[in-house]
Structure 1
Amino acid sequence: MENVQLEESPVLEARQGVTLLVACFVGFFLSQIVAFQVASVATNTIAHQGLTHFLDHHFERPWWLTASEMFGLWLGFAAIVAFAMKTVRPVLPTGFFNVRWRDLKFLPLGVLLQALVGALYYPFHIESTSDPVKQIVGHNPAYGMLVIMFFVGIGAPFIEELLFRGVILQSMTAVLSPRVRALAAGLVPALLTGVVFGAAHGELVQLAGLALVGTILAVIVQRQRRIAPAIFTHAGFNLIALSVAWASVAVQ
């Protein structure tokens, strides 16, 4: 059986972990500003070019707004990862970024995770858990949904996993004492990373579910010693949520 990453791989120094966590915290909020600015530029460009049909349509949240905001976030997140990777790379397992054909099997795991989260929320009759996804989908046309699928379903899992499981997980591991991070086979840093992941989405109702998903994604990285399985799991989770929301909006 494979040992978890914590037990076999070197760990960052505590001061390095603290520095990277602070950088991620500051960088995350700067990324929100970048996303807002990119979205503003997109809105002004469309308005000044007379493309009013992109503004007047009946969909709640136009696809280009989602795409521009996501692109802005990507720029910020990519900058954080690039800044941190020089420090983090030496402690990553060999082949951490390798992608294998068998990683495709993690796509359905993401679908199962979405079903698990839905089942856990079901007894509480909380209808608003799917509202953020439905707002993204809105009544966008098919071509707009393809763009959303790319940005939210494929691009977001890639860049978010690099940030949360590639940088923040390593940083969380570093700031904990060896005894604490070894508890429950390394579950503590995975759990903390999951909570940060859930909180970063800014949806209080979804916090518990996303924290659970983030924790599982961190455990996958620890066990598999590679980032690709978590990316595919995350992609499956997002894609099925978008697909179900799109279908539910279409039949209304």
Structure 2
Amino acid sequence: MSVEPETSSPFSLRRIILGVLTLLVALVIGQALVNSWQEPQIASRLQLYQTDLLLEASEWDSSTLPEQSVTTIRQGLLGNDPIQTSLQQYQEVKATAEANLEASQNSGDGAMPGLPTDEAPQVPKRLRNAWQQQQQLVQQLDMRIGLLQAERGNLKQAQAAWSQLSQAADVQPGIQQTAQVLSRLWQEPAQVMPEAETQVQTYLDGWFRYRALERLYQVAGDDAAREALLAQERDAAEQTLLRLAVIGILPFLGGLAGTALLLFVVLQRWLQREQSWLMTNAGVTWDTPWSWEIIWQVLIVGFFFLGQIFLPLILGSLGLGLASLGSRGRALYATLYYLLMAAGGLAVLFFSIRAYRPLPPDWFRIDWKGGWRWGLGGYLAALPLMFGISLVNQQLWQGQGGSNPLLQTVLEENDAIALALFFFTAAIAAPVFEEILFRGFLLPSLTRYLPVSAAIGASSLLFATAHLSLSEVLPLTVLGIVLGTIYTRCRNLLAPILLHSAWNSITMAGLLLLGAG
């Protein structure tokens, strides 16, 4: 095994190239993080999806169950007044979205116009798209808030919301026409506009669609259609109640188990001290034969430059992009993009360290018989930590800071093949590649220069920053610390891969349950 000399010239060609690439990467990554500052998080959408499930389940037909059981189920899953609860949540999300829109318009040098179009080329396209999505979100919220107000008998507030949408000049035409339909249905005397049913079917879904269609059939005097609609809604409500139970109960039970595990680990650390699980290999560094220059090279060239600059430029020059692709095309593009990035990154890693083979013990070790216990335990321990950090993060960013775009795509995707491709990318490709790079290579390499705890922290921060969303830096750093702690204790790369895969898989499963319908 050869060892790289530490006395190479500070002005060698390789270091000059690495320095230039580092500056370029810093500019690109920095700009991406700054842009994410004004982008909305997916958390608001997730909250609304769960609220919609609550509304759908509130129409559950409980006549076949004992009254005491019904009361327990309704209070436990739906609360005392699901309509009022949903109205409050919609109003809170609307207030946050409006505040974000105002902040976007007033940010920087005032470049964000009232309507983000080509008249403001200085505003990045990604920001303009995010701004437009927020504006449409506010319009959809107003339309739905009107329906919630109408359901509670507050017709004056409902008509005010729909009237504003009907008269505003910058409202999406479909939303504007649907607001006019709703306004006519709930006015006195009520009227059914032409194409009213088509508008409702197109621009409303779930509980809101049922309420609008029920009112339409009632005004039209079509009792048969109304009865069929209500029967369909009761069947859907029963299925939704099951989904709501899974979404609410399973994470709660997992969080309880994780909390119990954390308390046990802390207690064991206090009682057994150096013989506890938490202190296993806690201060043991890896035997790292290469210097910081190899670490720098793999991280900058193998991950950031290839994945965030080179590949987008190459694919863009070939005319390959997401805009013109359908559902399956976007999923295939995302999968191939990630596989190419992983292949490039692993190739750079291989050629950077091949001169040091055979590697010292514990490097990239995978033990198929072990690792499962550490991976599962790490996942459970991460649950309560991530729940707590998410609450802090939500207060810190107030719905801004960006999110992984894959989450929103999965939430709204209905094609099974596309979902399978997204699942493969998130649950298999990403955990394997990212754990090999950040835990398998970066973390052990840093222990040549840092204590193990500091190496875990540094590698976790870089892991979080690589996801290019400011709002994800804190939670992903915490997740990275859990992954790094697990890996340094068991010295088995399979454990963080399994933990990472479980985290992404269960997150995607939750999104599918929220978005199914």
- Please report the TM-score for the alignment, with normalisation by the length of structure 2: 0.40
- In 1, are the aligned partners of 2:413 and 2:419 still within 8 Å (CA)? no
Q: Aligned match of 1:36 in 309, 312, 335? A: 312
Q: Which residue of structure 2 aligns with residue 134 of structure 1? A: 407
Q: The residue matched to 2:359 in structure 1 has which SS?
A: helix
d(CA) in 1 for partners of 2:424, 2:403:
19
d(CA) in 2 for partners of 1:101, 1:154:
19
Q: Aligned match of 1:66 in 322, 326, 334? A: 334
Q: Post-superposition shift, 1:201? A: 0.9
d(CA) in 2 for partners of 1:25, 1:166:
16
- In 2, are the aligned partners of 1:67 and 1:148 still within 8 Å (CA)? yes
- The 1:127/1:243 distance shift into structure 2, 3 A limit, reads farther
Q: Which residue of structure 1 aligns with residue 152 of structure 2? A: none
Larger deviation, residues 125-134 vs 62-71: 125-134
Q: What CA deviation, in whole Å up to 9, does each residue of 1:198-218 have, x standing for no partner?
A: 011111100011111111111
Q: Which residue of structure 2 aligns with residue 241 of structure 1? A: 507
Q: Aligned match of 1:223 in 489, 504, 508? A: 489
Q: The residue matched to 1:205 in structure 2 has which SS?
A: helix
- In 2, are the aligned partners of 1:5 and 1:93 still within 8 Å (CA)? no
Equivalent residues in 2 for 1:95-244 (5 A)? 96-100=365-369, 103=372, 106-107=375-376, 109-110=378-379, 113-114=382-383, 116-123=385-392, 124-125=394-395, 126-127=398-399, 132-137=405-410, 138-176=412-450, 181=451, 186-244=452-510
Q: Post-superposition shift, 1:19? A: 2.5
Structure 1: stretches of 5+ with no match in the other structure: none
Q: Aligned match of 1:27 in 302, 311, 323? A: 302
d(CA) in 2 for partners of 1:42, 1:153:
28
Larger deviation, residues 74-83 vs 210-219: 74-83
d(CA) in 2 for partners of 1:157, 1:95:
14
Q: Post-superposition shift, 1:96? A: 1.6
- The 1:136/1:6 distance shift into structure 2, 3 A limit, reads farther
Q: Which amino acid aligns with 2:468?
A: G
Q: Which has the higher helix share?
A: 1
Q: Which residue of structure 1 aligns with residue 288 of structure 2? A: 12
1:93 aligns with 2:362: yes
Q: Which amino acid aligns with 1:159?
A: F
d(CA) in 2 for partners of 1:105, 1:121:
23
Larger deviation, residues 226-235 vs 87-96: 87-96
Q: Post-superposition shift, 1:119? A: 3.1
d(CA) in 1 for partners of 2:486, 2:312:
32
d(CA) in 2 for partners of 1:245, 1:168:
31
The alignment of Structure 1 onto Structure 2 pairs a total of residues equal to 233
d(CA) in 1 for partners of 2:370, 2:448:
31
- In 2, are the aligned partners of 1:192 and 1:215 still within 8 Å (CA)? no
Q: What CA deviation, in whole Å up to 9, does each residue of 1:47-87 have, x standing for no partner?
A: 9xxxx8xx255x9x931222122112112221133134434
- In 1, are the aligned partners of 2:368 and 2:494 still within 8 Å (CA)? yes
Q: What CA deviation, in whole Å up to 9, does each residue of 1:109-146 have, x standing for no partner?
A: 43652553233222535546766342341424111111
Q: The residue matched to 2:463 in structure 1 has which SS?
A: helix
- In 2, are the aligned partners of 1:43 and 1:65 still within 8 Å (CA)? no
Q: Post-superposition shift, 1:192? A: 0.8
Q: What CA deviation, in whole Å up to 9, does each residue of 1:146-198 have, x standing for no partner?
A: 1111111111101111111111112211133xxxx1xxxx2111111101110
- The 1:228/1:107 distance shift into structure 2, 3 A limit, reads same
Q: What CA deviation, in whole Å up to 9, does each residue of 1:75-104 have, x standing for no partner?
A: 222113313443486234278222226616
- In 2, are the aligned partners of 1:106 and 1:230 still within 8 Å (CA)? yes
Structure 2: stretches of 5+ with no match in the other structure: 1-274
Equivalent residues in 2 for 1:44-59 (5 A)? 44=320, 55-56=325-326
Q: With CA pairs under 8 Å and 6+ residues apart, which has the higher RCO, 1 or 2?
A: 1
- The 1:10/1:139 distance shift into structure 2, 3 A limit, reads closer
- Please report the TM-score for the alignment, with normalisation by the length of structure 1: 0.77
d(CA) in 2 for partners of 1:42, 1:135:
26
Q: The residue matched to 2:471 in structure 1 has which SS?
A: coil
